[in-house]
Amino acid sequence: MTRRVTSVTFRGLGAGISSCQDPWVYISHVSSRCVCVSLQGLVLGVFEKEGEEGSLHLTEAAAGFDQTLSGKLSELLKISGPAIKKGKSRIFYGLHEDFPCVAVVGLGKNSVGVCGAENWDTSKENIRQAVSAGCRSLQDLEVNHVEVDGCGDAQSAAEGAVLGLFQYDQLKSKKKTKVTAQLHGSADPGWEKGVLYAEGQNLARMLMEAPANHITPTAFANTIEEKLAPHAERVTVNKRSQAWIEEQQMGAFVSVSKGSEEPPVFLELHYNGSPDSKQAPLVLVGKGITFDSGGISLKPSSSMDAMRADMGGAATVCASIVTAAALKLPVNIIGLAPLCENMPSGKATKPGDVVTAKNGKTIQVDNTDAEGRLILADALCYGHVFNPRAIVNVATLTGAMDVALGSAATGVFTNSDWLWEQLHKASVVTGDRVWRMPLFQHYTRQVTDSQLADLNNIGKYSRSGGACTAAAFLREFVTAHHWAHLDIAGVMSNKDEIPYLRKGMSGRPTRTLVEFAAGLLFHT
């Protein structure tokens, strides 16, 4: 049972909770917690003072808010317990008539910046983590509108808020409180940019998290087409059919798709953002296996449900193009996503079968669960038709990548130092890191030593260096001078490693791809 109260002092609910004089507050006798149903909450940041352990320094927005309260917030922070730790939040009630619930979040030290050891901007990561924590704490109290302190970096604050509030509950009858977030105080273009970056990653998360019977190849393509519809003047969407795929002699792609009842789709996106129509495009290629059973080389049933996200490469690539279009980036981008299921049936490819890729190379398929490299092979060949400035493919390709790096960073294999530098630079800004991996001829020899064909789809020593032999296989279908393969198997999902992402599919590295594309503006 819940009753409405107009004045109550909350005791025993944790340090830092003040008396509440606001009528827009309910107290639940069942849960013994305060539930604010006001339309508005506020998230404010505090830094640790340099050289003064336990002391706090208010951000500009927090100091302004405190001034309107004649210093009441500062006073409460002093008496409410230990200093707020980095990434943590503390809630105060009834401080201001417009904001019944105020979450104060710890931002860590103000002097930190890019950390060479961690390969990211620590200040930005601290802001994302802290703002996310504050927004979630207010969401748990069923506050449905939150104003957020920009904390000196409105883009990072927006990313923390929008990423932190996302949860895939579309198919549940009981849903999390939907929260809208906006910047507190004056306008800042960084906020809108951060919202778009985060919404792009959330789109990838939504696609990856959705069940495979909801996101089939056709449904995936239709969803992206719908998302790009508002940008029709700059975007062309081609949903290529199986007949087209066969006409293109994409035998490797066809071999993976034929075991499923779901028809394959080759999704081709053209974003023409540059005023120079002759500008060479950036080509992004994403692995689009909407469900991976392993085919005849069937996977173990344990955790096979997670293979609904084996189209994470296509999801991040397509979401990054949706974001680039929303941002109106003045670059040309072509997105290619071979979409299909990998299923066992009487029509499925069998271990030992030989198929022919678009470039005429024959492939001995010794393991049908090494299917991602097959569909990417044909897509990479096709991508060269556009005389690209660079080709970047993204794929949840190998479990070996997860073993090597875990969820700390995306593995990057590239033939171009310039391309590596641009990807790395972008990842430092976004905090969604990349790490360079080797493309030695040592690995190429392992995939070109095949009994029946030009190539074998698994390395000669199948378990050793699996991520590296997969990259070496892909390189056999690349002639471009600037090519990179991003293996995102290790960053596909999030448990508790990234504090501003809830448990589930991560949508990584969408923001890094967008930042990378934006960075190309300055590197002609």
Catalytic annotation, residues? 299, 373
Beta bridge mates, 356: 362
Residue closest to 43 by CA, chosen among 155, 136, 110, 113? 136
d(CA 511, CA 508): 7
| Under 8 Å between Cβ of 337 and 285 | yes
| Cα 6 → chain centroid | 43
| Under 8 Å between Cβ of 56 and 77 | yes
Beta bridge mates, 115: 120
Show the tokens assigned to 483: 């090519």
d(CA 130, CA 87): 4
Is residue 156 within a helix (H) or strand (E), and if so which, with residue range? helix 154-165
DSSP 294-342: -TTSPPPSTTGGGGGGTTHHHHHHHHHHHHHHHHT-SSEEEEEEEEEEE
Beta bridge mates, 104: 44, 90
Q: What is the residue whose two structure tokens read 């029709």?
A: 232
Show the tokens assigned to 513: 């791809």
d(CA 381, CA 151): 46
| Under 8 Å between Cβ of 116 and 47 | no
DSSP 367-409: -TT--HHHHHHHHHHHHGGG--SEEEEEE---HHHHHHHTTS-
d(CA 71, CA 94): 15
Query: How many Cβ atoms sit within 10 Å of the Cβ of residue 29?
Result: 8
Show the tokens assigned to 33: 């917690």
Backbone angles phi, psi at 280, to 5 degrees: -65, 135
Between CA 74 and CA 86, with CA 80 as vertex, the angle to 5 degrees is 80
Show the tokens assigned to 104: 């104060």
d(CA 429, CA 325): 20
| Under 8 Å between Cβ of 228 and 325 | yes
d(CA 418, CA 335): 21
